[in-house]
Amino acid sequence: MKRKVSDSLIEWKNNPQRMPLIINGARQVGKTYIVLEFGREYYDQVLYLNMEIEHTLDKYLETELSPKKILQYLEAVKGVEISAGKTLIFFDEVQASERALTSLKYFCEQTPEHHVIAAGSLLGVAINRQKYSFPVGKVNEINMYPLDFEEFLWAMNRKKLVEEIKNHFAGNEAMPEALHKIGLEMYQQYLIVGGMPASVNTFVETESFVQVQPVQNNIINEYISDMAKYADPTTSVKIRACYKSIPAQLAKENAKFQYKVVQRGGTATIFGEAIEWLQFAGILLKCQRLTHGYIPINVYADLVNFKLYMSDIGMLTLCSKTPLQTILSPIEVDNIFIGAMTENYVAQVFTNKGYELFYWQSEGKAEVDFILQKEDVVIPVEVKKGERNRSKSLGIFAKKYNSPYAIRISKKNFGFENNIKSVPLYSAFCI
């Protein structure tokens, strides 16, 4: 399965200033698979070390952090010859071993000629709780996410469609109606399947939405297991409650996260840590309100008011129990939650692209779904689930903060009029 992160791995390998690499991401986003595939293609051998089961190695690391001695130990125990630049050393599930994470600093300082990758699912949680000492300045980092819609199209053998989408996005020219229809149909499929590799693989093999759902359930069960394993019992209960509340949070007319939806009388003091845990675990995405649209926008973030989205749209669809026929219907249905799902999809797209998530709300009723900073300009983005696109908020923001143009993501075909760039839902990955 082709993933964009593969290009980043090749760049890392070829970089003369290369340091040990940490790949962080939620469980089941494909970290192990992609590193092993990369290793098999670009190295003579891969030394795979799963730190959840390498208890003897973890014990050894308690008393020894010298890379040369670690390598000697691994050669003896594993019966392999480790060759610099030819052997990829891969510490998987590194969150299970604080000492393995610490050792990366010394690999960087003492044996930079060796190629070392570490991957972890809950590093953000561990580091945020100050359980681990992170090797700051001694590692390269990559964040990995579920497949975006472009990668989903690759998996579905729709590479030609991807090319057409990119060309029409660049030229603001309408897609032929037949291709536009196919793009929207594929987008509807993605809302159900999502971007978790196991879900996508199942759908590619079976073309069955029904068979995808047990796979998604298994992933959610792994998340819940991690909540119990990597958090104390009291916090674990709060984490699960916050996670389960997301569909209800997004279903409100005002999707701003409200603690009282989780529990009557709920407050930031009670649930703040739980939300941080979910965010650092890569399970939820936080979109903060902006008080102003000036550059740099991140300094105008309102830390109190925010929205939360699921990191994978397929998971939201499953958890919300939205009828699949509602999503797949060619007729535009008057369903508020479909609008919420559409926003979640775009939030996932923007996160994959490396954008920080922000929305804007005026002192009046004007609201813009997403605000992007692209170099030295600020672009407002409105998201609509269908073709009906009337809204004053885009114009209000663009005028107030001198945006060169605005973007509207909807089912409408490509175009550019009244200083608004029309972007079909299936092409959001181009932004």
What are the DSSP calls for 30-70, one per residue? SHHHHHHHHHHHHSSEEEEEETTT-HHHHHHHTT---HHHH
Residue/partner pairs of 330-337 with CB below 8 Å, 24 or more apart: 332/385, 332/386, 332/387, 332/388, 332/411, 336/251, 336/253, 337/247, 337/250, 337/251
> For residue 387, what pLDDT is reported?
84
The predicted pLDDT at position 123 comes to 81
What is the pLDDT confidence band of residue 134, given thresholds at 50, 70 and 90?
A: confident
- When computed from its CA atoms, the radius of gyration of the chain, rounded to whole angstroms, is 23
Among 14-18, 68-72, 109-113, 130-134, the least confident range? 130-134
pLDDT at 229: 87
pTM for the model: 0.94
Task: Look up residue 429 and give its DSSP letter.
Answer: G
Average pLDDT value for residue range 54-71: 96
Mean residue pLDDT of the chain comes to 94
For range 15-32, the mean pLDDT: 96
Query: Cβ atoms within 10 A of the Cβ of 385, count?
Result: 22
Phi, psi of 266 (to 5 degrees): -65, 145
Total residues found in the chain within this entry: 431
For residue 130, is pLDDT > 60? no
**Helix, coil or strand: residue 89:** strand
**pLDDT tens digits for range 217-259:** 999 999 999 999 888 999 999 999 999 999 999 999 888 999 9
Confidence of residue 128 (pLDDT cuts 50, 70, 90): low
d(CA 136, CA 254): 39
CB count, 10 Å around CB of 207? 11
Q: Which fold has domain 5-143?
A: Rossmann fold (3.40.50)
Q: For residue 114, what pLDDT band results from cuts at 50, 70 and 90? A: very high
406-410, strands of its sheet edge to edge: 370-374, 377-383, 406-410, 420-424, 415-417
> Phi, psi (5° rounding) for residue 225?
-60, -40
| First CA to last CA distance, the chain | 23
| Domain assignments of the chain as residue spans, ordered by start | 5-143, 149-430
Mean pLDDT of the region 407-427:
96
Confidence of residue 131 (pLDDT cuts 50, 70, 90): low
Residues 230, 282: Cα–Cα separation, whole Å: 14
Lowest mean pLDDT among 13-17, 157-161, 165-169, 394-398: 394-398
**pLDDT on residue 371:** 98
φ and ψ at 142, to 5 degrees? Answer: -135, 135
Within 10 Å of residue 400's Cβ, how many Cβ atoms?
A: 15
Half-sphere exposure of 139 (CA within 13 A, CB side): 23
The larger pLDDT score, comparing residue 71 to residue 388, is at 71
pLDDT in tens, 261-278: 999 999 999 999 999 999
Calpha distance 77→402 (Å, rounded) = 63
